[in-house]
Amino acid sequence: MKPKVMILLGSASDYNIAEKALDILEQLKIPYDLRVASAHRTHEKVKKIVLESTRQGVEVFIGIAGLSAHLPGIIAANTHRPVVGVPVDVKVGGLDALFASSQMPFPAPVATVGVDRGENGALLAAQIIGITDEEVRKRFSQLRESFYSKVERDENQLLNNMG
């Protein structure tokens, strides 16, 4: 099935953050692809992946990277598709990656979510895809509902334990 989301990792060591994103995409049945290709190390590869993915109909990119985290910005420079940035905390509390992703100049915005929040990156991608894909939108709403139910259950369990 043709991927709608392309996830790019700056390094294989960012995979634990990516996993949170994959888990959400699978729950929402959004086809995705994942590649490892840091902005600085394998720049041509990033570009090639982005151009090909864009041509083949990928609708949203997710760039996951730490440190000076240029990856989401490089993706944004090579596509007209929206790019989601997930900053990873490696040093200085992840502020470096948060700034690198959010503080992009005109005209190459990156849709930045919270430090280490792979799951929110995937949800944002789902919301974007859901604009035209009603099935995804429904599943997104269900997932949100089921999460709310879980919060309720957590609360009940907590209150019971407090007793």
Residue 83 sits at φ, ψ, to 5 deg, of: -120, 125
**Residue selected from 21, 132, 135, 160 as contacting a second copy according to rule CB under 8 A:** 132
Smallest distance, a second copy to C-beta of residue 93, A: 5
Count interface residues toward a second copy (CB under 8 A). 83
Cα pseudo-dihedral 56, 125, 95, 49, rounded to 10: -10
**Residue selected from 15, 31, 50, 53 as contacting a second copy according to rule CB under 8 A:** 15
116 binds a second copy per the rule CB under 8 A:
yes
**Residue selected from 16, 23, 40, 135 as contacting a second copy according to rule CB under 8 A:** 40
**Residue selected from 3, 35, 53, 160 as contacting a second copy according to rule CB under 8 A:** 35
**Short-list 92, 154, 97, 119, CA closest to 7:** 119
**Residue selected from 39, 50, 62, 64 as contacting a second copy according to rule CB under 8 A:** 39
**Short-list 40, 28, 105, CA closest to 66:** 40
CA-CA distance, 19 to 35, in Å (whole number)?
Answer: 13
62 binds a second copy per the rule CB under 8 A:
no
Signed CA dihedral, 15, 30, 61, 53: sign only:
positive
- Please give the structure tokens belonging to residue 162: 């407090």
144 binds a second copy per the rule CB under 8 A:
yes
Ranges assigned E (strand) in 32-124: 32-36, 60-66, 83-88, 111-112
**Residue selected from 2, 55, 159, 160 as contacting a second copy according to rule CB under 8 A:** 159
Stretch 68-87: interaction string toward a second copy, x if CB under 8 A:
x-x--xx-xxx-xxxxx---
Closer of 6 and 124 to a second copy (Cβ): 124
